[in-house]
Amino acid sequence: MTASPEVHIVVLAAGQGTRMKSAQPKVLHPIAGHPMLEHVLRAADSLNPATTTVVVGHKAELIAGALAARDDAECVLQSPQLGTAHALQQAEGRLAGRQGTVVLLSGDVPLLTSGTLRKLVQVHRHAGAAATVVTAVVDRPYGYGRVIRSRGRLARIVEERDASPAQRRVREINSGIYAFDAVPLFDALRGIAAGNAQGEHYLTDIISIYRRRALPVETLIVDDPGEVRGVNNRSELAEVSATMRQAKNEELMAAGVTLIDPSSTYVDTDVVIGPDTVIHPGVVIQGQTRIGSACEVQAYVRITDSELADRVTVLNFCVIVGAQVAEGASIGPFAHLRPATRLGKGAKVGNFVELKKTSLGAGSKASHLAYLGDATIGDNVNLGAGTITCNYDGQSKHQTVVEEGAFVGSGSQLIAPVHIGRGAYVAAGSSITKDVPADALGIARGRQENVEGWAERRKQTSPKP
Ligand code: UD1
Ligand code: CA
């Protein structure tokens, strides 16, 4: 038989995941910025599969929704869920008549590496096997199917509930990950009955069926049993997350990033950080964030879906979401950059400053206590302490424009829509409602009056206590 080089991926994700005690399907729980299922699919992508099928059942519509962005993965429905063999049978419609290797994955085993998957396909093809089972030798095999060997070769897999005390002592477990030759697979699945402790159609029974038919069965023992760790409850979710986080941190450090305390640094899988950037403890960097080189991110900062160029400083306790920050800018402490914020080269956003849909030009400063929303602020503008753009009238948002080189005095409100011209000044404490032309001074506040001797007179007329 000439083996077709095609690989077909099937991911089992129909189970309820009862022990998660969640309204959300288990495989959609996020780990390091992606649903668990996405990690599984990414590992599978490295095999360049001809088809990818996800077997869904419990909360199928939510999983299908999460997969909508992936045009390569198709969902098939398993309803009711009668066991792992029955789950794989649901893929028959998509795979009937195809040749090659079916790689079966579990949606709740997210640490499996692409390296192990490639090795699985290689071992499976090299042996010309009908089935190759990924196994692991673990200290605590409880709950897993046990690998029963006879004269060294895989004879069958026995589930925990169906195992004898002697079989329960076996420490080699079935990971639930397999490679199958597509040709005999679906016919064999039809031969699996539900005669076991759970009344389910166990995929693991296929091993004894193949042995009886004298079809070759292989195993691949993983070097690191941690890779085939399944997530069944929140505690395992936390453990698997920690493992994934640690791997990401190792990757960053190897690429020249300093992590002052990796154990308290939380960086999502897709984040990119340049060399000589220093990340302090308690920092969370999420989503599609890119950070340049020689930046400093101080403690207790969250950065989500943002781009920071080189030599940017983020001081303690900032939240930065959906922002673009140019080289040499400085942010914080206690600043909040909300979506569609852009900071120009060397711009400075100081403490207690919030920006939203606002661009602050190169060299411009909002150093203290400001709210800047829906604003376009040119280069080298100085916004004094307490500058507020009044962008919302209760119904719509309005734009504020401050041109290059303008100076806005402290405690001013810019009541939008309003335009401050190039090089103009706004006097401190102004409520600006009209445009200020270039090079003009806008002053809009009540005139001060000093009443001479007022305090002295008050003392004399007030009653004594
Ligand atoms: C299964 C294996 C066991 C192995 C373990 C590894 C069987 C009978 N047992 O046990 O040998 O050690 O995985 O983690 O295969 N699923 C469906 N439809 C179903 C049932 C399950 O899609 O009808 C999916 C689940 O969502 C899950 C996967 O299949 O992703 C495994 O099912 P689960 O019930 O967790 O099997 P285990 O008891 O863990
Ligand atoms: Ca499981």
Ligand 1 atom index nearest CA of 159 = 11
- Contact yes or no for 145/158 (Cβ under 8 A): yes
> Which residue has its alpha carbon closest to ligand 1 atom 20?
83
Q: Which two tokens stand for residue 129?
A: 């096997």
Cβ 178 under 6 angstroms from ligand 1? no
Q: How big is the chain, counted in residues?
A: 465
| pLDDT of 29 higher than 60 | yes
pLDDT value for 379: 98
Rounded distance between C-alpha atoms, residue 105 and residue 112, angstroms: 9
Q: Which two tokens stand for residue 443?
A: 């002053």
Rounded distance between C-alpha atoms, residue 210 and residue 192, angstroms: 11
Name 303's bridge partners.
285, 320
Cβ 40 under 6 angstroms from ligand 1? no
Q: List pLDDT tens digits, range 114-133.
A: 999 999 999 999 999 999 99
Cβ 134 under 6 angstroms from ligand 1? no
* DSSP-derived secondary structure for 139-178: S--TTSPEEEEETTEEEEEE-GGG--HHHHT--EEEEEEE
Cβ 110 under 6 angstroms from ligand 1? no
Ligand 1 atom index nearest CA of 82 = 23
Cβ 173 under 6 angstroms from ligand 1? yes
> Which residue has its alpha carbon closest to ligand 1 atom 36?
84
Ligand 1 atom index nearest CA of 13 = 26
Q: Which two tokens stand for residue 130?
A: 């009908």
- Nearest-10 Cα torsion for 169, 172, 177, 180: -110
SS (H, E, C) 276-293: CCEECCCCEEECCCEECC
User: Cβ–Cβ contacts within 10 Å for residue 99, how many?
Assistant: 16
pLDDT value for 3: 56
pTM given for the model: 0.93
**pLDDT band at 303; cut points 50, 70, 90:** very high
Q: List pLDDT tens digits, range 8-27.
A: 999 999 998 999 999 999 99
E-strand stretches of 208-298:
217-221, 258-259, 266-267, 272-273, 278-279, 284-286, 290-291, 296-297
Provide the greatest CA pair distance for the chain: 114
Task: Return all residues near 255 (Cβ < 8 A) that are at least 6 apart.
Answer: 273, 275
Phi, psi of 194 (to 5 degrees): -105, 35
- Contact yes or no for 388/405 (Cβ under 8 A): no
| Ramachandran region, residue 214 (left: φ > 0; alpha: ψ -120 to 50; beta: rest) | left
CA distances from 403 to 372, 378, 392 (A): 14, 5, 21
3-state helix, strand, coil in the chain (%, to 5): 25, 30, 45
Q: What's the mean pLDDT in 318-340?
A: 98
| pLDDT of 2 higher than 50 | no
CA distances from 119 to 40, 132, 317, 373 (A): 16, 11, 45, 53
- Contact yes or no for 240/35 (Cβ under 8 A): no
Name 336's bridge partners.
319, 354
Q: Best of 84, 160, 227 to mutate for ligand 1, by most ligand atoms within 8 A of CB?
A: 84
Q: List pLDDT tens digits, range 420-448.
A: 999 999 999 999 999 999 999 999 999 99
Cβ 15 under 6 angstroms from ligand 1? yes
Cβ 75 under 6 angstroms from ligand 1? no
Rounded distance between C-alpha atoms, residue 385 and residue 365, angstroms: 10
Question: Which ligand neighbours the alpha carbon of 15 most closely?
Answer: 1
User: Cβ–Cβ contacts within 10 Å for residue 255, how many?
Assistant: 12
Percent of the chain with pLDDT over 90: 95
pLDDT value for 1: 45
Rounded distance between C-alpha atoms, residue 327 and residue 314, angstroms: 12
Q: Residue 112 Cα, ligand 2 centroid: separation in angstroms? A: 14
Rounded distance between C-alpha atoms, residue 2 and residue 343, angstroms: 60
Question: Which ligand neighbours the alpha carbon of 236 most closely?
Answer: 2
Q: Residue 5 Cα, ligand 1 centroid: separation in angstroms? A: 27
Q: List pLDDT tens digits, range 193-238.
A: 988 888 899 999 999 999 999 999 999 999 999 999 999 999 999 9
B/e letters for 42-76, b = 16+ CB within 10 Å, e = fewer, are ebbbebebbbbbbbbbbbbeebeebbeeeeebebb
Ligand 1 atom index nearest CA of 205 = 8
- Contact yes or no for 402/376 (Cβ under 8 A): yes
Cβ 172 under 6 angstroms from ligand 1? no
Q: Residue 108 Cα, ligand 1 centroid: separation in angstroms? A: 9
Q: What's the mean pLDDT in 304-326?
A: 99
Identify whether 39 is a catalytic site residue: no
Determine whether 40 is exposed, middle or buried from the number of CB atoms within 10 Å of its CB (0-12, 13-18, 19+): buried
Q: List pLDDT tens digits, range 52-95.
A: 999 999 999 999 999 998 989 999 999 999 999 999 999 999 99
Q: Among positive and negative, which fits the CA dihedral 162, 140, 108, 126?
A: negative
Q: Residue 55 Cα, ligand 1 centroid: separation in angstroms? A: 12
